[in-house]
Amino acid sequence: MSKFKFAMYWAGSCGGCEIALLEIQAKIIEVDQNYDVVFWPAAADFKYKDVEGYDDGYIDVCLFNGCIRNSENEHLANLLRAKSKVLVAFGACATMGGIPGLANLSSAQEIKDLVYTQTPSVDNPDKVYPQERFTVPEGELDLPHMYDTVKTLEQTVDVDYFMPGCPPEAHQIAGVLDVVTAALKGEGELPPKGATIGVAPKSCCDECERVKDEKKIAGFRRIWEFFPDREKCLLEQGVICMGPATAAGCGARCTSVGMACRGCYGPPEGVVDQGAKMLSTLASIIDAPDPDEIARIAATVPDPVGTFYRFGLASSLLRRARV
């Protein structure tokens, strides 16, 4: 029996998802037994034209990580959608926009201005910017067009499954691969289309071992400002922990080592906007009687958008700042 066809692609992202796949360790051998890699730029030498040559639906499963940041990402999203039977938005960037999604607070031009002219370490008196097209003696070169707005994979093409995490945890990846492989072999069933996979029910708090009590917060602190109690819920100690508004599945690894949850697993089922929900939660537990005091406490929230929408701005109800 021929092997199933596997693809993985890295759009607007850091590459962590690619490494995460290798975190499954010896299980990668099982993957090799079951799949032929037909496209995986980070690991094997394939060209886009190879993929363009495949029949539609040729790829059995494609793990697509990264957001849609530019025209190249978009082209590959469309291409891989057409060629794949099962397209998985893999990791926080593909599912929610991820950290690159915070670029939606600026326009593409603002970002270029900052990077190419305004950064203190840049010496660019002639204001030279990268060009999308440039003619050299050998011919014309081109670069992808950078969009103003970062999009999720689902905002670009039809997606079969969503697998959040920055990056997805190895045990969840292994579990998902088992399910997919079994289904392809006819030994099991795929989850319903559109499902979020590789997560656990409930919120991150469910997996967090810290002791939880009623929460009343008189001020927010960052982790370097004090020595948090090792046993107590971090939120109760004034550290903004996204746990209550984040899906479980990661095993609460961050909070177990004293780091607040950053929300990379996205909202739990039923929550439409993770950042707004967390804001609503925090507003509910601020313990102050008068508006001035509340304003003072609220002002201690560091970087509100970057905190509440660290991963989810592109998929939030707001999507982006006005350009």
Partner 1 sequence: MAEEKIGVYICHCGTNIGGKVDVEEVTKWAATQPNVAVAREYKYMCSDPGQDLIKNDIKELGITRAVVAACSPTMHEPTFRKAASDGGLNPYLLQMANIREHCSWVTIDPVAATAKAKRILSAQIHRLPLNEPLEPIEVPVNHDVLVVGGGIAGIEAALKLSATGKHVTLVERNPSIGGHMAMFDKTFPTLDCAACILTPKMSALGKDPNITLMAYSEVEYVEGYVGNFTVKVRKKARYVNTDICTGCGACQEACVVRKVKSEFDQGLGFRSAIYIPFAQAVPLRATIDPAKCLTLSKGKCKQQTCVSACGPGAIDFEQKDEVVELDVGAIIMATGFELWDAAQETRYGYGRLDNVITSLEFERISNASGPTGGEIVCKNGEAPKSVVILHCVGSRDQNYQEFCSRVCCMYSLKFSHLIKEHLPETEVYELYIDMRCFGKNYEEFYRRLMDEGVNFVRGRAAEVTDVALSPDEEGRLVVKTEDTLLGIVRRIPADMVILSAGLSPAHDAKEVSQIFGFGCSANGFYLERHPKLEPVATVTDGIFIAGCCQYPKDIPDTVAQAGAAAAGVLGLVDNDTVKVEPTISYIDPEKCSGCHICVGLCPHNAIQYNEEKNAAEVIEAACKGCGVCVSACGSNVPQQRGYLDVQIFAEIEGALAV
- Which residue in 60, 52, 65 sits closest to 12, CA to CA? 65
61 binds partner 1 (CB under 8 A): no
Cβ at position 101, least distance to partner 1 in Å? 20
> Which CB sits closer to partner 1, 100 or 268?
268
Size of the site for partner 1 (CB under 8 A): 31
Q: Which stretch binds partner 1 (CB under 8 A): 44-52, 105-113, 156-164, 207-215?
A: 207-215
Residues whose CB is less than 8 angstroms from the CB of residue 280 and which lie 6 or more positions away in sequence, other chains included: none
Q: Assess 100 for contact with partner 1 (CB under 8 A).
A: no
Stretch that binds partner 1, among 35-43, 97-105, 144-152, 239-247 (CB under 8 A): 239-247
Distance (Å, whole) CA 45 – CA 55: 19
Residue 292: CB minimum distance to partner 1, A: 16
Q: How far apart are CA 72 and CA 147, in angstroms?
A: 10
| Rounded least distance, CB 213 to partner 1, Å | 6
Query: Are the CB atoms for 178 and 172 separated by under 8 Å?
Result: no
Q: For partner 1, which is the closer residue by CB, 24 or 250?
A: 250
The verdict on 202 binding partner 1 (CB under 8 A) reads yes
How far apart are alpha carbons 286 and 261 in whole angstroms?
19
Instruction: Determine if 206 is a binding residue for partner 1 (CB under 8 A).
Output: yes
Taking CB under 8 A as the criterion, which residues in 262-291 touch partner 1? 268-272, 277-278, 280-281, 283-285
Shorter beta-carbon distance to partner 1: residue 187 or 213: 213
**43 interacts with partner 1 by CB under 8 A:** no
Verify binding: residue 256, partner 1, rule CB under 8 A: no
CB of 246 to partner 1, least distance (A): 8
- Sign of the torsion formed by the C-alpha atoms of 204, 206, 211 and 215: positive
Alpha helices in the chain (DSSP H): 16-22, 27-34, 48-53, 71-83, 92-96, 108-113, 170-184, 204-207, 253-256, 274-285, 291-298, 304-308
Residue pair 56/87 in contact by the 8 Å Cβ criterion: no
Which pairing describes strands 247-248 and 59-65: parallel, antiparallel, or unpaired?
A: unpaired
Alpha-carbon distances of 291 from 219, 276, 299, 304, rounded to whole Å: 14, 20, 12, 19
Select 112 or 215, whichever has its Cβ closest to partner 1. 215
**Residue carrying structure tokens 């739990």:** 268
> Which residue's CB is nearer to partner 1, number 212 or number 222?
212
Does 243 interact with partner 1 (rule: CB under 8 A)? yes
Question: Which of 13, 70, 237, 246 touches partner 1 (CB under 8 A)?
Answer: 246
- Per CB under 8 A, the list member of 16, 244, 249, 312 interacting with partner 1 is 244
**CA atoms 270, 276, 282, 284: torsion sign:** negative
Least Cα distance to 82 among 49, 119, 46, 56 occurs for 56
Residues 208-237 binding partner 1 (CB under 8 A) are 212-216, 233, 235
Residues that bind partner 1 (CB under 8 A): 201-206, 212-216, 233, 235, 242-246, 248, 268-272, 277-278, 280-281, 283-285
